[in-house]
Structure formats: C-alpha cells, structure tokens
Amino acid sequence: MTDNQEIPSRSEERKAERHKQRQQKVKATVDAKIAAAQEEKGILLVLTGNGKGKSTSGFGTVARSVGHGKKAAVVQFIKGNWDCGERTLLEGAGVEFHVMGTGFTWETQDRDKDTQAAKTAWEAAEKLLQDERIDCVMLDELTYMVSYHYLDVERVIEALKNRPKMQHVIVTGRACHRAIIELADTVSEVLPIKHAFDHGIKAQPGFDY
C-alpha cells in the first residue's frame, strides 16, 4: 500500500457492511416477488389524475410495444385533428390510429355531436378490443367519455373484460370511473405540482403535443 492510499476506518467499514446487508434484504424481497409472478396475461393499465403526462406515458408504452415488434393501435377521444407528434411518429411505425376529431368539448359546445363522435370512436375501439392480432391498444382520454356519459360504462367494461387474453390496454384521462379502476391491473395517478400553462406559458409543438 502506498503512502497515498488511505486505510478505511472501522466506521466506514461498518457503514459499508450495513449498506450491503440492506441491499441483500432488498434483493431477497425483489427476487421473491419475481418468483411469485408467474402468470402471463394482457395488462389493463390506467393512467389518471390531474397532472400532465398521462398520454405521454401511454404513448411511451405503445412505442415500447412497437419496439418489441408488437402490433399496436390507438383511439384518441377528445383530441382534434391538429398535429400530434406521437401520432406522426407512430403511424410511420405502422400503428393504427382512430381519432374522434371533434376537439375539446368546451370548444364544440354541442353535446349531441360529441356523443355521436364518441360512439363512432368507441365502435372502432370495440373492434380493436376483439382483434387478437393487436397486442396493445391505447384508449387516450377515454375517461372523459364515461364521465360525461357519452359512453355507457357497462359497455366499456364489457369490452375490456372480453378482449383477447394477452392484449394489453392503456386507458388515460382524469377522473377515471371507479369500475374501470377496479377492473384494472395497474393504476397510476399523475399529480400536478406545477404547470407552465398556469403561469402563462403557451403549449409548444415538440414538447406539449
């Protein structure tokens, strides 16, 4: 040992040993969970809450699916026909899109028109939810359609329950109906801490859409 090398103190050695023991316990817990998780099935993922990033997270999962050579499809409720960076990218990768196309309900202010548009989009979703060739289906902003009673929640639940066994589904949007949350395998809530728009910063292409 050279003069420049320091001999670890007893306290540092004890600290390192305690860290090692903690990590061994963590590893044992994780290994046990991995060993217990043997079932393979399609996952119903709900991304809800009032924070920004629900659709972004959902599209990330769709991109992951495509990256593994899986076939994916997206139905967008609420959204209009404006440019969508994710759609441009994913359609180029072979992802099928169905867009409700009426825009936000506070823009249309036409309940009958919105209801009919929602039903048309949902009919496309139902076909995807019956198609064994589709590995992953994203139902973007579906929660609003149920909250506004444009779609019957029982009809939605029935389609989700009876989809192909290995088909993954992603549901996004605020205030997800309790029945969908109860059916879901994984639920994440995105909470708002700060949002640029609330401070007068406009939505920008390439970042917000």
pLDDT tens-digit profile of 138-172?
999 999 999 999 999 999 999 999 999 999 999 99
Across the chain, mean pLDDT equals 88
Ranking 62-76, 80-94, 121-135, 176-190 by mean pLDDT, the lowest is 80-94
Q: Give the pLDDT band (50/70/90) at residue 112.
A: confident
Domain ranges of the chain: 9-38, 39-191
What is the C-alpha separation between 112 and 74, in angstroms, rounded?
Answer: 24
The larger pLDDT score, comparing residue 82 to residue 50, is at 50
Percentage with pLDDT > 70 across the chain: 89
Predicted local confidence at residue 114, as pLDDT: 86
Reported as a single tens digit per residue, the pLDDT across 1-45 is 455 555 668 888 888 878 888 888 888 887 777 777 677 999 999
What is the C-alpha separation between 94 and 96, in angstroms, rounded?
Answer: 6
Report which of 187, 173, 177 is spatially closest to residue 156, judged by C-alpha positions.
177
Fold annotation for 39-191: Rossmann fold (3.40.50)
Report which of 175, 174, 146 is spatially closest to residue 159, judged by C-alpha positions.
146
Give the DSSP H or E segment for 77. Answer: none
Ranking 74-88, 93-107, 110-124 by mean pLDDT, the lowest is 93-107
At which residue do the structure tokens 């600290």 appear? 15
Predicted local confidence at residue 27, as pLDDT: 84
What is the C-alpha separation between 102 and 57, in angstroms, rounded?
Answer: 23
pTM of the model: 0.83
The larger pLDDT score, comparing residue 100 to residue 46, is at 46
